[in-house]
Structures are given as structure tokens and as C-alpha cells.
Chains A and B, each alone.
Chain A
Amino acid sequence: MPDQSTLKQLVLGRKDVQDLSDEEHALPPDLMTVNMGPSHPAMHGTVRIVLTVDGEKIVKGDVQPGYLHRCFEKESEHATYTQVFPYTDRLNYVSPMINNCGWAMAVEKVLGIYGKVPKRAEYIRVIVSEMSRMTDHLTCIGASAMELGAFTAFLYFLKAREWLYELLETVSGARLTHSYVRVGGVSKDLPAGFDASLTNCLERIDGVIAEVEGLLNNNKIFYDRMSGIGAMTKADAIASGCVGPIARACGVDYDVRRDYPYSVYPELEFDVPVGTSGDCLDRYLVRVEELKQCIRILRQCLKQIPAGPIMIDDHRVALPPKTDAYNTIESMIRHFKHIMDGIRVPAGEAYAFVEGGNGELGFFIVADGTGRPYKAYCRSPSFVHLSTSEQLIKGHLIADVVPIFGMINMIGGECDK
């Protein structure tokens, strides 16, 4: 006859709590491996983190990107310089206009027409870039707040983002993947009444930002979840190549728009917010301030934008007007060659970089004299930032992965290329 506890195990297949020995009663002392992602609501885009946890505490986080790899660089070698624009849309798909501008600038540099783009086109590029930067920050802050439970902030910011998307749609024809910028200018002029609608939109967004700041800035829960979480030192940020809001939150006073000015940014007045502690709260605060600076830049642009052409008058890069293409053989051939063979870029190489939503976004091109890049490379800020995330989440609780990841704002399309 077995003893009672063995009998119970045999009959019920389990032990009761009181039957456990002291050793069995304790939490298992060994580490556990948990998969976070690749399909997880808080894993923006698709990225997988293999977490090794000691209870709730993260001992190791193996970050595995690449699920959204689309061979951007290799595909670009097979596309004409103009056909690459739709691919850049899909890099940081929350701020595609900035990617468009970066690519156009790189090609213009090799062509030797950098800085010769008409003034109006440059202003339009800045306007759409800053609008894109706003959509980027609105999404980042809104989504992160939502993941911490603040759904209202998310809805308010996405409402504001939608106003911007609608405006960008009137400019480019597409809500998200604009493909609007061209080498040597932009594809079409701003629509009639754009000035008024943007002014109106900015006013309303001003209100929304104030509203959300009221909801979040002095919110105890939000503050506790963000402050001191995922902090990075200034030295670490520089050593790992961080840029943009992440680096600025750590106290790195660097903004491409101010330090390596391009386009018409030298003619515009704006401040570069810089944080001190480098934690999630500072990243949030930097982004909110940047939103306000974007509005400031946009208002100046609307005042200063001149009338004039939106495309450079250079037959090497500019498509002829449609009426000419249909009615003269010269323009017809030019149109055909531009579309089929691509803009012929002389052999050479160039690196052009812009301040993207997440920081310095660079394109490096090697041209071989044909209509397609011999080599294209994209320096994507998200990829650099993601590489620091393992260090940032180490030692925190599982729940802290969410705000850290949200504030790093890794965009799958840009990170995985």
C-alpha cells in the first residue's frame, strides 16, 4: 500500500500545494526563455526579441530583426534612379517624404546639380519633410502612450496625423507612399488652397499637442513608466552611432538640419531640443518639442515660399512637358530615354544625408554612367538604434520593453531595408 501522497499523485496525477517539498515550492531558480515577437502588438513592424528572464527581470535580450527585409539596396541597382523613389517610400513608411528627399539629394550630388534645384521646389521639399516628421513623431508618441494604457492620447494624435496625411494626399495623390519628390525638384506643384489648409491644420494640431501634453506630462503612471527607463549615456549614444531624437535625449546636440544644413534650412529659424538623462521620458519630451519646432518651421515656410518652377531646367534630368512629348520627336525621345533607360548619371559616388524622423538618414550611391545605380546603400537610423536596444532593456522588467521599444521607434521598413 503506497503512502497517501503517492496515492493521490497516482489517482489525480498531481500534487497538492501542501504536498510539495520546500524545494519544489520555491520558484524555479533557472532562467526562462520567452519569445517576444515577431508578431506582437508592441513590436512595431516585425522584430523578434528572445528574452532570457530571471523571473520578471531581463537578463539577456537577443534582438533579431530582418523580417521586413525587401532587398532595398539590391533592388535599387536594378531600377532606374527615378524608380527607386517608391522603394524609399517603404523605408520609414511613417515619414516617406524625407526618404524621398534624401534619395533625390544623393542623385543630385552625383549629377552635380546639388543646390541648383529651384527655390520653390526646395521649399516644397522642406514643407512635406516637416509634415512627415510630424506624422512620424505623432505616431511614435501616440502609439507608445497607448501601449502604456493611455488610449486617449493615441486617438488624439492619430486624429492629428490623419489631418496631415490628408494634406499630403492632396499634394502627392497618395496617403502613405507618396513617391512625390523627383531628382531635380518635385513631381507636381502644391495644390490650390494648400496654404490655407495647412495653416488651419497647424492651428488645430497646436491644440491637440497641448491637450495630449496635459494628459501625459504630469501623469503619474506615464511618468513612472517612462522616467529612468532605458537610459543611455551621452558617451554610449555617440559610441553606438545614435542620432536624431534618441541621441538628442541623451544630450548629444546634433541635428543634420542645423549642423550640415541642406535645402533651405539655413533660411529658417528653429531650435534643436536636447535632453539630459537619456531615458524614455526625455525621448518623449524631445519629440514633443520637435513637433512644436516643426510647426514653427512650417509657418515660416508658408510665409517665405517663392513662386517659380518646381523642376530644374536641365534636360539631363527633367522630363519634357507632356504636350512636347506628344508633339515633337525630340521631347518624345527624351521622355522615352528617361523612362526606359533612366536619368543618365555620370560615373561617380556621393553620400547625401538628411534629418529623418529618427535621425540622420543617409544614402550612398555609386554611379557607373548608366541610368541605374551601380551600388546603393542606405544608412538607416532605426537599424543603429535597434542595435542598442539589447543594452537598454537589460536589467529592466519585461513590461519595460514596451516603452523602451516604443521610444526607440524602430521602424521595420527602415531597419530591415
Chain B
Amino acid sequence: MSDQVTLTIDGHQVSVPKGTNVLEAAKLVGIDISAFCYHPGLPVVAQCRQCLVSVEKNPKLQPSCQQTCGEGMVVHTTDAQSTLARKQQLEFTLVNHPIDCPICDKAGECTLQKLYFDHDNANSRVDTPKVHKAKVVDLGPHIVLDQERCILCSRCIRVCDEVAGQHQLEFAHRGDHELLTTAPGEQLDNAYSLNTVDVCPVGALTAKDYRFTMRAWELDATPSVCTGCSTGCNIEIHHKNGRAWRLIPRHNADVNKYWMCDEGRFTYHDLRVERLASATVDGLPAGWDRAIAQAAKRLGVFLKDPAQIGVVLSAVHNNEDNFALARLAREWKVGHVFVAGKPPVPARADGRLKTADVNPNTAGVKAIAEALGLSTRPAYELEGTLGSLRALVTLGDVLPGAPTGKLKELELISISAHERGAVPHAKVALPSAAWAECAGTITNAKGMVQRQHAAFAPPGQAIAGWEAVVRLAHATGVKLPWVHARDVFKEMIGQVPAWKDLTWPREARPLALRFAGSRG
């Protein structure tokens, strides 16, 4: 018994695994059957009736999302019957749809707009007034609902059921007056609620965080990986003119499928908060040259007896930054190596996407330190060691367990994207690019090394963290021969046995959404 079935769709022969539906099979041969309610990551309900196709020897039209492929099946998507059905279905869908495109956040990436333009494109034949419903329904902490725009596809209801495991949305009333609402006494407040906004084919559900801020077609999309926790959900940064406007999940069957958590979506705000944009010496702005010279001078005293120097790696920074600093620590033969990270939040772990470890790269730092033969200790053990330390080089701003008073006595050199935590106490602070601004890789809890692309330039004088390490190394007489993150990566995979087969993916150029057509 073969596991494959072969069918014909619009004259194209296609072979698919058993159980595949016709809609997915059609995609394989480049035929995009329209649909509102179907989503590859959600259970099929076949209620929008937009994907009707003709199947030979079957007198009735079949919803292609629900119709599983059969051996020898002959499907037509462009015949008169199914074309007319789609056209009429769209006409019905539009009967009560408000004329909101100019003020709707979904305009430009709206499935309804796309399908109307593709399949109907006819004038209105309705001369009765539209049924009016509530325009601004506050569903919960993150989401506002416009009931008029809703086309009742139930994708959002299923997202809550499937992704969050909480049934918080429901349809009420019937016919023309049917509408989406929360169950009595409920709020749309689950940890994955913003996925409903992504899957909404129209602008019914809008994120409070994004609505009325930016038109979708103005944005550029750069693929990246979420740094909110150790899951490493694949995302797209949607940005314009050096500023991120939203994070959208990107499909990865092995990590996050089509989803991500609400908390992760808001991590982009941190890119514009408390940024360290200029190198500082003793708290005052300085150029790179002076800052590096000062750092080398202050460290130089202790380099003869490196047991007095400590280095702190960061589970928040990417593999390249950490590898560079770890390499430097080995060259210097420093006495102490720590790993800093944000404290775990056990309440976060939900067995779905969220984990207790809110650092994106804990596994990566561990692997790098092991590969380089450095014995590391967690940063909260720092306090006990401070007595024997005279100088400390840190990556990142998180430095738990180090009392401010003690830090001030040290020659503290910080490489950080933010000016907070331990950084304001640093004798020399070197500004580094944040995760959205530099090329690099991070390793999630499963040990998967994933690539982050630079979406836009870092602020002010900031440069990639590994580059700051290289400059510091050169000033202290250590040669690190890297000019690109790829160079660091190549040396790194040579050293870490588990990563030896990895390759450096090509730089992704931002995709202008205006050229992407409707992504619906």
C-alpha cells in the first residue's frame, strides 16, 4: 500500500501523502485556492465556503480545505460552476462589510481585499442599508474588536482553543446579526491572544500595540528570532526607517509552528529604551578610540596577573558576541568566567511555547564555554568572588548578585546595548548593537542554532558586540582576525563539536511588504 495518492488539479498531476486536503495539494502546483477560514495550523471547519471546487463524479461542489485527496481524483478550480460559487460567496461576505479600508489597519494585507480583487471584482448590487454592529469592543488587555468588519471565519476562536488551550471567544446571535464576542465573564487575555490578530483575514481584531500606528504596506520585513525566552520562536521584524513596529511569527514546524506568545511580541519596545549610544569613560561620553585606549590602559595593569580579572558572558547576547569574549578571556587567561542572565521566571513555563528561562541564548553560552575549556559560574556567585577581583569585563547589562558599592571599586568595562543595570557604574562602557540590529546566531533550549538578521542600523556609535571585543582585544595586544560576524561564526563552529555542520545563511534583504502583494 503506497502512502501517496495522485490526483489531477486543473490538468496538473500531483502526488501527495495520504490525508492531504485538496487545498494544500493545489498549493504544490501553484494554484492558490481562495479561503478565509482555512489555516494550515488550525483544525478545518469548512465554514467560509470560499474554497469550493468541482470534483468530477461529484454533483456538488466540495470545500477544498475539507476534501481529502483521493487516488485518481480530478479537481477543477477554474470551471464556471466553482468560479461562480466563489464570486457569489464573496458578494455575500461583502454585503454587510463596512467601508473601512482607508482607516483599517489590515488594509494592504487583507485577505478579503485580495480575494475580492482576484475573484469577484464586480460592482455592488446591494441597495439596502448595512447591518451595524459595535465598532470598538475592548476584548482584553491587547486586543480591540470591530464586530462590523468580522466575516465570521472562526479562525480566532480556534487559535484560542488550539494554541492557548483556552476557549475565550464565541459567536453569538444568528444570521445577519451573528457576531464575535467573548464568552460571558471572559476576557481575551490568554498568553497567545495576539495570534488572533495575525490570523484574522480582515481588520476585525486589531492589536492595541499596533493599531493606527503604521500602514502595513509601508513596512519592510526582516526574518529574525525572538529573544523573549529560550524557545527561540521564528519571527519577522516589521520595521521602517530604523524602527521596529511589530513582530510577527514566522512559520517553523520544529519550533513555533505559526505562533508566538504576546510577551515575545512586545520585546521590540526594548530596542528604543535606555539605549547606550555612545562609548563612555568614567560616565562621560567619549569616542571609540579613547574609550578603547582607556579600557586597555586600565586592564593592562592586571593583565600580568590575570587571576584578578573576571569576564562575564551573557545569555542575552548572541553566540558570536559570547564566542568573541570567551576567546579573549582564554587568551588573557583570566581567573574567573561567569555567565549572566535574567533570573528565570518559573510561572512563565506553560508547556506550550513559553519557558521559564527568559534568556534566549543560555544553551549557546554553555556550549561555547565548554568548547573553549572555560569553567564558568553563574553570575549570582559573583559577590563571593568580588574580593579577589580587581577588573571585570561584562557583556550585556544584566549582572545579578553584584552590589553596586562593590562594583564601583572595580575597573568595570561593560559592552552593552542598554545603559542600565551594571552599565552606569562602568568605568568604560562600550555600546553594542541589539539583537535586531546585527547579524548573528542564537541557540535555543533545544540546542537549535538560529540565524538573526540585521533589520536596521544600531543607534549612534554602537557596533556589534563581537566587534567591540575585537577592538578591545587589539588594544591589549591580542589578535582576533575577524571582520564580519560570519568570520566569528566560522571559527566558532570549528571549535564547538555539536555545531560543526552548520552553515552561515546568506544575509536576508528586507522584504518591502508593498512588493509582497497581499499576504492575506
Residue B40 interfacial (CB < 8 Å): no
Cβ–Cβ contact B124 & A344, under 8 A: no
CA distance A329 to B112 in the complex (A): 11
Contact check, B107 vs A336: say whether CB atoms are below 8 A apart: yes
A333-B113 in contact (CB<8A): yes
- Residues A330 and B120 in contact, CB atoms below 8 Å apart: yes
Q: Name the B residues within 8 Å of A328 (CB-CB).
A: 99, 123-124, 126
Tell me whether B310 is interfacial, beta carbon within 8 Å. Answer: no
The answer to whether A331 and B97 have CB atoms under 8 Å apart is no
Q: Kindly report which residue of chain B lies nearest to residue A321, judged by CB atoms.
A: B123
Give the contacting residue for B123; candidates A320, A336, A341, A370; CB below 8 A: A320
Tell me the smallest distance from the CB of A76 to a CB of chain B, in Å. Answer: 14
B117, B122, B123: the one contacting A337 at CB < 8 Å is B117
B124 touches A333 (CB 8 A): no
From A372, which residue of chain B is reached at the shortest CB distance? Answer: B515
Nearest-neighbour CB distance to chain A for B267, whole angstroms, equals 30
B517 lies within 8 A of chain A by Cβ? yes
Q: A341 — which chain B residues lie within 8 A by C-beta?
A: 117, 517-518
Q: Does B84 contact A (CB under 8 A)?
A: no
A315-B121, A320-B123, A370-B517 given; A330·B217 CB < 8 A: no
Decide yes or no whether A56 CB sits under 8 A from chain B.
no
Q: Is the CB of A324 within 8 A of B124?
A: yes
B32 to chain A, nearest CB (A): 12
Residues of A within 8 A of B113 (CB): 333, 336-337
Contact residues in B for A372 (Cβ distance below 8 Å): 515
Within 8 A of B (CB), among A355-405: 370-372
Q: Is the CB of A330 within 8 A of B515?
A: no
Give the bracket for the number of chain A residues in contact with chain B: 20 to 34
Q: Which of B99, B108, B217, B515 contacts A329 (CB 8 A)?
A: B99
User: CB of A57 within 8 A of chain B?
Assistant: no
- B76-112 interface with A by 8 A CB criterion: 94, 97-99, 101-102, 107-108, 112
Interface check B116, CB cutoff 8 A: yes
User: Is A340 an interface residue, CB under 8 A from the partner?
Assistant: yes
A324 and B123 contact, CB distance less than 8 A: yes
- Are A340 and B122 neighbours in the complex by a CB distance under 8 Å? no
Whether the Cβ atoms of A326 and B117 lie closer than 8 Å is no
CB distance from B100 to the nearest CB of A (A): 8
Nearest to A315 among chain B residues (CB) is: B121
Q: How far is the CA of A78 from the CA of B512 in the complex (A)?
A: 11
A326 touches B99 (CB 8 A): yes
Residues of A within 8 A of B126 (CB): 328
Instruction: Check A330–B122 contact: CB distance below 8 A.
Output: yes
Whether A329 lies near B124 (C-beta < 8 A) is yes
Shortest CB-to-CB span from A322 to chain B, Å, is: 13
Verify B94–A340 contact, CB threshold 8 A. no
A329 and B121 within 8 A (CB): no
* Distance in angstroms between the alpha carbons of A340 and B102 in the assembled complex: 11
Contacts of A148 in B (CB 8 A): none
- Chain A residues whose CB sits within 8 angstroms of the CB of B108 once the complex forms: 336, 340
Q: How far is the CB of B77 from chain A (nearest CB, A)?
A: 17
Shortest B345–chain A CB gap in Å is 42
The answer to the question of A21 belonging to the interface, with a C-beta cut-off of 8 Å to chain B, is: no
Give the chain B neighbours of A326 by CB distance below 8 A: 99
Q: Are B122 and A333 within 8 A (Cβ)?
A: no
The distance in angstroms between the C-alpha atoms of A340 and B113, with both chains bound, is: 11
Is the Cβ of B117 less than 8 Å from the Cβ of A332? no
Closest Cβ neighbor of B120 among chain A residues: A330
Separation of A42 and B515 alpha carbons in the complex (Å): 43
Q: B121 near A334 (CB under 8 angstroms)? A: yes
Please give, as numbers and ranges, the residues of chain A lying within 8 Å of B517 by CB-CB distance.
341, 370-371
A-B contacts, 13 of them at CB < 8 A, read A324-B124, A327-B99, A328-B123, A328-B124, A330-B122, A331-B124, A332-B101, A333-B101, A333-B113, A334-B117, A340-B108, A341-B518, A370-B515
Seen from chain B, the residues whose Cβ lies within 8 Å of a Cβ on chain A are: 94, 97-99, 101-102, 107-108, 112-113, 116-117, 120-124, 126, 217, 514-515, 517-518
Given contacts A324-B124, A336-B101, 6 further A-B contacts (CB under 8 A): A329-B94, A333-B117, A336-B108, A337-B113, A340-B107, A340-B514
